[in-house]
Every structure is written in C-alpha cells, then in structure tokens.
Amino acid sequence: MILPSRHASRDGIAPEAQAANAPLITILTSSFGGGHRMAARSVAEALREERPEWDIEVLDFFEHFVGRRLSQGVAWSYGWSARRAPFVYGGVYTTAQWVGERPRLQGWMNRVGRRRLREYVRRRQPAAIVNTYPTPSAVLAALKRRGDAHTPAVTILTDWASHSQWIHEGVELYLVAHEGLRDELVGLGVPAQRVRATGVPIRAGFTPRGVYPTHGPVLITVGAHGMMRRAEALCRLVAEQAPRTVVVCGHDHSLRRRLEPLAATLGGRLQLRGFVEDIHRYYATASLFLGKPGGVTIAEAVAVGLPMVLYGAIPGQERANERFVTEAGAARAGKTATEAAATAAELMRHPEELARMAERARALGRPNAARDAAAAIVELCEGR
C-alpha cells in the first residue's frame, strides 16, 4: 500500500505539478562516480513517464544525510585515488567487501547518515526508497531491521558484478545488469523472487543500430571530470594511427587545450569535444569505443552494439566490469595506453572482427533498462 506524500519533489518538479497526495518515490544516489547519479536520473525520468502524478525525488545521500564537507572530502579522495593511486581505491574496495561479510563491522558502517535518514523517512513517508549506491541501501536496511523504518527498499546495482555492500536483509527488490548476476545473488541467499535482471539503467537515445558502421571513427571518452590516467598519451597514440578519432574531453579543459595542436596538424582526422549532452549520437556513428569500464558506460555501449577497447580500469568494480564484457567477446582490454592504442589500431584494420564484437555487445544490451526498472518499482509499490 502506497503512503501519500504532501511535499513537492526537490528534483525540478514544481509544486503545482504534483498532486496534493502524490506518492513519493525517493531515489538515493552519490556523486562518487557519475554512473550512480546517471542511473538515478534515468530511473527518475522513466518513473515520471510511467506515473506522471507521482512525486519523484533524487537526493545525494552523503550531501543530504551525512554532511556536505564530508561528502566533498570523500569525493575528492575518490577522484585522487582513481587518478593517482588506484591501488588505494582497490584496497578500500577489498576492505569493504571484507567488512560486509562481518555483521559487527558492517553494523558500525551502517551508522553513516542513519539519524538523518530516519528523520527523513518519518517526516516524508516515501512510498519506496530506491538506492543506486550501496551505502544508503545498507543504512536503510539497518533501520528496517531495528524497526525504525518500514519503507519498501529497492537496490539497483550499477555494475556488472556483485559486492557484499550491495546485499542486505531488508531489501524487497534488487534490479541487476544480467541474468548471471541475478543467479549470483540468489546463490548468495537472496530470495529469487526479489531479484530481477532489468539491466543497468541508462538514458534515452542509446538504441541498437540496424547496420554496423564499419568506417566510423574511434570514440574516446575520458569521463566527465577527466578520471582517465594518461589520457593525453592514449589520445595521441590512437589519433596518429586511426583514420578518424573523436575525443570527448568532458570538463577536462586542460586535456582539450593540450590536444588542440595535434588536432590542427591532423585536420579532420581528430575532432575534440567538451562535455556533450547528446553523447548517444557519437555512440551511434562510431566503429569502436575506447574508455574506462564504468558500469553505466558499458551499458550504454552494449545497448547500441558498440565494440569496446577498455583501458584505465581501477581495481574493484571496474576490473569486474571489464572482465565480464571481455569474456563475453564484446570488448578487448589494454593494461597500458600503448597496449590499448595498439589494440584499437589492430581492430580498425579488421572490420569483420569489429562487426562480430558489435553483435556480441548488442546481445548484452538492455536499452529499455530504465523503463523496466521503473515498471518493477511501480509494481512493488502498487502490490501487483
């Protein structure tokens, strides 16, 4: 049974656009890694299409329930370790897995933001809380076990492999990337009826291509905030060998300035772009993608049917994502910039292999994942 909300959404919906008793769906995410936030927004948009009368609220868990200063500090630490010392991030990832398997230590971690989240649930009375980051999922599950909350919880895994921090007693519904991951969660003790393989939620526009463009450019993305290590060296190596290269620099203005002289030398063979909202258009025309193996990035590429060369994976979930798609035959991986560039150059000389990889990628794709996730959330709330 859905509990009504008397408050308007904080995510851009005007109060007059919401019914006075509109059910509230709260989506908790994080700014640590853009994929979590992107998945949250994608599901929010799909829910608004599915139930336009509902109140959909997207919140950064750490900023709203832990504190802005701590949130900024953790975000900086994440960015620093990913760029400068990935082994540090890998150590944190492994430690978190170990903690999740030890209830007493996990209970200590579940105190993060617990008081403010409890107050929020009591005040706002959401019909469901959807989590696209593991920490709020763990904290909410702990509140429910203590009897301090009774709100249905949905956890959306934004990567292609599991981790103990995602899995907690007290979650009514898990939405995962693929059937193999569903089976993995069931094997870890999650009831089968609570896990659905809806795919990693992505934005609209990433649709399967009818014909694979064998003579399209190599598309390189470095992340919205330039999280890729040795990005300049990689872009130079690829651009000097590929017939055409498009580099999406995001907000890394320094990288773009450093590459501009090379772009002038190569003419139309190298095109530079900043942050682009319509990135799906570049995916649609590319023959090959080269970038980091983020969960949402991979979901976007396979939805289109775009073969990948993956580079710059940090230890942890990115390594697991990389392993999954390479074993599926949809991607290759390079440990160094030189190796990744050489792999891309070799593939561009063999369009028949790229076409086979494109088919394998498309077989993994779930372009309607956000809509399927929204439908599953609506079904949970309405008790069908």
Domain parsing of the chain, residue ranges: 15-201+368-382, 218-364
Which range among 15-19, 47-51, 74-78 shows the weakest confidence by mean pLDDT? 15-19
Phi first, then psi, for residue 120 (nearest 5°) are: -60, -45
Output the six-digit token pair for 252.
Answer: 């890394």
Q: Where are the alpha helices (DSSP H) in the chain?
A: 34-50, 61, 68-84, 86-100, 103-109, 114-124, 134-146, 179-187, 231-241, 253-266, 279-285, 295-304, 317-327, 337-348, 351-364, 369-382
pLDDT confidence bin for 250, thresholds 50/70/90: confident
Say whether pLDDT at 197 is over 80: yes
Query: What integer pLDDT is reported at residue 211 of this predicted model?
Result: 86
Confirm or reject CATH 3.40.50.2000 for domain 15-201+368-382, answering yes or no.
Answer: yes
Q: What is the pLDDT of residues 352-384, one digit of tens each?
A: 999 999 999 999 999 999 999 999 999 999 986
Query: What integer pLDDT is reported at residue 106 of this predicted model?
Result: 54
Say whether pLDDT at 324 is over 50: yes
**Among 98, 9, 104, CA closest to 58:** 9
Phi first, then psi, for residue 354 (nearest 5°) are: -60, -40
Say whether pLDDT at 1 is over 50: no
Q: What is the mean pLDDT of residues 279-300?
A: 96
pLDDT confidence bin for 17, thresholds 50/70/90: very low
pLDDT averaged over every residue in the chain: 86
Q: What is the mean pLDDT of residues 343-356?
A: 95
Q: What is the mean pLDDT of residues 243-262?
A: 93
Same fold, 15-201+368-382 and 218-364: yes
Q: What is the pLDDT of residues 136-180, one digit of tens each?
A: 998 999 899 889 999 999 999 999 988 777 888 889 999 999 999
Query: What integer pLDDT is reported at residue 285 of this predicted model?
Result: 95
The separation between the first and the last C-alpha atoms of the chain, rounded to the nearest angstrom, is 10
Long-range CB pairs of 160-164, under 8 A, 24+ apart, other chains included:
160/200, 160/295, 160/298, 160/320, 160/321, 160/324, 160/325, 161/317, 161/320, 161/321, 161/323, 161/324, 162/188, 163/93, 163/96, 163/97, 163/100, 163/134, 163/317, 164/96, 164/97, 164/99, 164/100, 164/101
Q: What is the CA angle 360-248-162, rounded to 5?
A: 45
- The CA-atom distances, in angstroms, between 276 and each of 65, 148, 198, 295 are 31, 43, 27, 19
Q: What is the pLDDT of residues 162-171, one digit of tens each?
A: 877 788 888 9
Say whether pLDDT at 105 is over 60: no
CATH superfamily of 218-364: Glycogen Phosphorylase B; (3.40.50.2000)
Q: What is the mean pLDDT of residues 82-107?
A: 56
Question: CA 361, CA 223: separation in Å to the nearest integer?
Answer: 21
Which range among 52-56, 92-96, 115-119 shows the weakest confidence by mean pLDDT? 92-96
